[in-house]
Amino acid sequence: MPAPLRLVREIIALIAVKPRSELPIPRLRGRGGEGGRAASPRRGSGSLPNPPPQAGERTVSGAAIFRQFLDRLPPPEKLAALAVAAAPAAYLAGLAYAGELGARPVTEAIRISGDWALRLLWLVLLVSPARRVLAAPRLIRARRILGLGAFGLTVLHFGLYALGQQFDWGEVGLEILLRTYLTIGTAAMIGLAILAATSSNRAVMKLGGANWNRLHGAIYAIAALSLIHFLLRSKTDTSEPMLMFGLLAWLMGYRLVHRHTRDVTPARLMGLAFATAALTATAETSWHAAATGVDAWRILAAHFDAAYGLRPAWWVLAAGIAAAAASLILPGLQARVREETWRVPPQRPISRTSASQAVAGSTRGQSAS
């Protein structure tokens, strides 16, 4: 009898003897004997459907599979930080693809990448205060990703500048030596490269916690160099550099208050907001007075004139007041939510009569069995 007919006969005999759930997988006979690959049903070949689950078998629901998928995802803080870190590069790529970078696209791309690199660096410095103000300690998970994003945009910023110089590295090096703001920016980029290279857990273990903290304390000097580079590059409009100066003053002031008091209350945050706003107004007035020779009092009076719009000092004051309000409201609200979440609902006490009846019934059931 040919081999295919013999195989069909064996399958029919097995179906007649055993239930479908206990069928073994038939083996194809090869030329060298019966050892061969298991026969796998092909799609559309009329194969039998999967047997229904037997009693006692565990079935996995769609909700359980979705829950397992969510458990494998990174923490939401890391996902949000990754989205924030990648958004500026995606935005710049979209502008380049749409041809909306203007008549000098490379120059505009250099400006955008540099601005967002500085903003991401400020977000890195904001993580530690935000953890305490918002009572959200898990925000620390976002700091490394934001720092790497800031370094990546800095490298892109430098690469676009080299592209503008047609990758003439001799000309690039000469410009860095002759132009002060380029020298300062290059020093900041080298510092960020060192911090990015030592940001891994392996580097922390190799350097030791104390040495690693001392090394990464250089982020404050790097932030100051980046701000000076930004201010010197912006020759005409200094509104955003002064705004970044005020925000950096608030970030550093918060750290000083926390170091000396260990308890940054909403009242202290309110005082810090007014102090940094006054410092921002003084810095902007002094800068413009030195650059233009205009009377400093006239420049200071412009901060209170609505015709000139809101000056950076007012935005710094608003941000500081918002931080003080968040410190006053959010921790109490989060504590109340946690209390409501973990509160155990009161249970109805069981009477002695019902409890004794239940015990007697269970005893009778055990003896009867």
Tens digits of residue pLDDT in 110-137: 999 999 999 999 999 999 999 988 888 8
212-233 mean pLDDT: 93
Query: Is 103's pLDDT higher than 90?
Result: no
Q: What angle (nearest 5°) sits at the alpha carbon of residue 266, between those of residues 263 and 268?
A: 65
Rounded to whole angstroms, the Cα distance separating 319 from 250 reads: 9
**How many CA atoms within 13 Å lie on the side-chain side of 304?**
5
Output the six-digit token pair for 145: 């990703």
Q: What angle (nearest 5°) sits at the alpha carbon of residue 194, between those of residues 192 and 195?
A: 65
Place of tokens 């205060």: 129
Average pLDDT for the chain: 79
In this structure, the number of other CB atoms found within 10 A of the CB of residue 251 comes to 18
205-224 mean pLDDT: 92
Rounded to whole angstroms, the Cα distance separating 315 from 317 reads: 5
Q: Report pLDDT digits (tens) over 335-356.
A: 554 555 444 444 444 444 444 4
Rounded to whole angstroms, the Cα distance separating 247 from 160 reads: 27
